[in-house]
A and B are shown apart, each in its own frame.
Chain A
Amino acid sequence: MNEDGPVQADPGASRQPPLLQAEHVQLYFPIKYGVLVNRTVGAVHAVDDVSLSLTEGQTLGIVGESGCGKSTLARCMVRLLEPTGGTLRFRGRDITHLRRRPLQPFRREVQLVFQDPSSSLNPRKRVGQIVAAPMRLQGVERDAARARVRELLDRVGLNPEHVNRFPHEFSGGQRQRIGVARALAVNPRLIVLDEPVSALDVSVQAQVINLLDDLQDDLGLSYVFIAHDLSVVRHVSDQIAVMYLGKVMELSPAAELYRKPIHPYTGALLSAIPIPDPKENRGREQRVIGGEPPNPVSPPPGCRFHTRCPWATKVCAEVEPPLAEYPGGHLAACHHPRNVSSAEISGATRSPLSPLSAGQLMPGGQQAPASGAEKARESQVTARTGDAPDAPAGEGSSSWHLEVVDGCE
């Protein structure tokens, strides 16, 4: 589907390469069918052309509903899965297709914490063995590892005397601390946390979030924090990516995202979360979006959210919106952006992080000032894109118009 095209460097990251960078990463799971001959009859578009980057010492939150591809993306990032397209860079080095051995140094720097602490800890091993395992694999001596395990247990707030206990002797929150201790064992720089607190009670959630906060401050760690809960993500993230059906819908600094969600999907997610304050809850207008996410085997054309979006017009079903960059480094892939002024809309630029299949069509305000080259083409109105069908001229809502902007090719 998408070939790897030339990717422009992220303008903000020119000084130092970001710690982890995903460029148009794509992961399709083939659907096989047949008895003797395994024919591939289709593919689950789990992650479809996602570009993200993570600066050292920061936290990137990834949110979305189940099935949006956030966990698959996390597994790509730690290279548990090999992407079927795009490039993954760690400190500028391409790690997309590295084999096991060349990956080993990378494995030391990147660790993963799973959602369910009881199924990610071997029930037959003692805590000491579990936490020491990554160190032993990296060739640390038994005695040195033992001493370090006690240090680590203390660090995550567990009693070092409990090294000889089994996972079942701990509560859910304590087990998640064991998972964190194991991840810390090899002094990683990046920890990918896949729903680390979703299975925990609120009071314990707060403890684990505080622990992760402390560790980041003390050790200068970087996190990729996956969650389906926008309120938890708000607490931990510097940057947040909102995913839907394998694509990034919105990518923004955390505070900015909550102050003014631009993509209608983000707005819907935020509005769906009940606020723990009865009066405010009664007072606010809650927009419940109907329906469910479509099947990722055959995602809808154009904007993937258009089948559930209250603002969708004809253009949304036809042209995939590129990620438009608004002031404050706020990126959103939507033809009908919310919470932005028409000046901001006309000032928006096409982000190089946009999917390759996205159209050239930018959301435009009434008085969109266009630069010379764009003005010349503005009369054409139709979007010149590689694979997207022609955009309808003058169709859709009247409050905004279509605009052609220079692409990155």
Chain B
Amino acid sequence: MAEPLLDVQDLEVSFATEDGLVRAVDGVSFTLDRGEVVAIVGESGSGKSVTVMTLMGLTRSPNARFAGSARLHGGDLVTASEEELERVRGREIAMIFQDPISSLSPVQRIGNQIAEQIRAHEKISKAAALDRAADLMERVGIPHARDRVRAYPHEFSGGMRQRVMIAMALSLSPGVLIADEPTTALDVTIQAQILKEIRQLSRESDSGVIFVTHDLGVVADIADRVLVMYAGRLVEQGTVDEIFYDPQHPYTWGLMGSVTRVDRDPPKRLPAIPGQPPSLLRVPEGCHFRPRCPHAFDPCRQVPPLESRLPGSPDHLDRCWLTPADKRVKREVGGRIGLAEGKVIG
């Protein structure tokens, strides 16, 4: 097999706080290939954003501790120096943030903000960079791009601002594009436009995309592979079909069950996940999901390794002690996948 574009191994990120050590990311490993969209799903606080921000070198601070590696083109993003990172960021790995209005400078013209990044990496004239900026804006579907190069962010709607962010991220054709909840703040009709745009642009430029979201509908729409995170750990990973049609971890079942579907008659009652995600200061011993899991049993006091438990799907990994046969029975709730209601240990 060819070497993956990005190879993350045993990534650990923890922050020292006044209340103790927060293990935000706890041993996350995954790879990303060219032309592939990998989605990271999980609730707020599951560590999905910290994972991708660490890849961009944005979580560095005096109280942050890192371990593991993230290899991109021979370099390691975790241990890279600031200078190395500066060279890589934008050119080889770029990011689209959730909230475009707080990621754009309100006092600079859109065109200048895009051109600034190009000029930081390439020795070209300002006029040429602005010209490139206009081309990029056209490419991401901003109407009248030539005239709007001189506009300010407040003159753009939410959807158009997100397009500007995408244009900026793509300005140097990076191999890896990270999108951190890029459509969460947008209306569904605009979301559909932006997803289409991201899919098409990543295909054209053959870059790998890491797509962070909590919306399983978006995952089904855009992802090739899915990583499910819970309380800092990967609990399951596989292709989008494996995750949706044969989910192995009870947390994944819970996520599936909680989703309201527009194309089906609603069930009488949504099978919700009981309780709250744990505080990362005091994670439960063993499987992190144990306190909320109705299927928890004695072995769950030991951390289950992330491994393939299904014969025939070597790349479908999960972190649950139940046998695949058991899981098949237990995940059926009222004819669909969900987390059964049941006694939950405190």
Contacts and interface: CB of A to CB of B under 8 A. Distances in A.
A174 B220 CA distance: 29
B220 A277 contact: yes
B193 A288 contact: yes
Interface string A152-178: 000000000000000000011110000
Given A203-B43, A276-B259, A289 B254 contact: no
B262 A275 contact: yes
Interface in B209-265: 214-222, 240-241, 244-245, 254-263, 265
A272 interface: yes
B157 interface: yes
B44 A202 contact: no
A230 B273 contact: no
B270 A209 contact: yes
Contact of B262 (A172, A174, A201, A234): A234
A396 B61 CA distance: 64
B221 A281 contact: yes
Contact of B256 (A66, A232, A270, A276): A276
Nearest to B192: A272
Contacts of B261: 231, 234, 275-277
Nearest to A157: B274
B151 to A, nearest CB: 15
B265 A292 contact: no
B271 interface: yes
B214 A174 contact: no
A258 B271 CA distance: 22
A73 to B, nearest CB: 17
A275 B193 contact: no
A203 B277 CA distance: 10
Contact of B187 (A66, A276, A280): A66
A229 B159 CA distance: 17
A203 B262 contact: no
B214 A280 contact: no
Interface in A234-287: 234-235, 255, 258, 268-281, 286
A213 B268 CA distance: 10
For A228, A273, A286, the residue with the greatest tally of chain B CB atoms inside 10 Å of its CB is A273
A172 B44 contact: yes
Given A206-B273, A274-B195, A276-B220, A201 B214 contact: yes
Contacts of B265: 255
Contacts of A206: 257-258, 260, 270-273
B188 A273 contact: yes
Interface in A200-223: 201-207, 209-210, 213
Contacts of A276: 216-217, 219-220, 244, 256, 259, 261
A232 B262 CA distance: 8
A275 B263 contact: yes
Given A275-B263, A276-B256, A281-B221, A202 B188 contact: no
B272 A210 contact: yes
B323 interface: no
Contacts of B44: 172, 201
A171 B276 contact: yes
Given A203-B258, A235-B266, A272-B188, A278 B159 contact: no
A210 B276 CA distance: 15
A379 to B, nearest CB: 41
B215 A274 contact: yes
A201 B217 contact: no
Nearest to B195: A274
B290 to A, nearest CB: 16
Contacts of A105: none
A202 B220 contact: no
A22 to B, nearest CB: 24
A290 interface: yes
Nearest to B243: A278
A202 B159 contact: no
B269 interface: yes
A228 to B, nearest CB: 6
B189 interface: yes
B276 A173 contact: yes
B44 to A, nearest CB: 6
Contacts of A228: 187-188
Interface of B: 43-44, 157-160, 187-193, 195-196, 214-222, 240-241, 244-245, 254-263, 265-266, 269-274, 276-277
14 contacts: A65-B187, A205-B258, A206-B272, A228-B188, A231-B217, A235-B266, A270-B262, A273-B262, A274-B191, A274-B192, A275-B261, A276-B244, A277-B261, A292-B190
Interface of A: 65-66, 171-174, 201-207, 209-210, 213, 228-232, 234-235, 255, 258, 268-281, 286, 288-290, 292
Given A206-B273, A210-B270, 5 more contacts: A204-B276, A234-B266, A235-B266, A235-B270, A288-B192
A-B pairs, top 8 by smallest CB distance, nearest first, are A274-B217, A206-B272, A231-B262, A274-B221, A206-B258, A203-B273, A276-B216, A206-B270
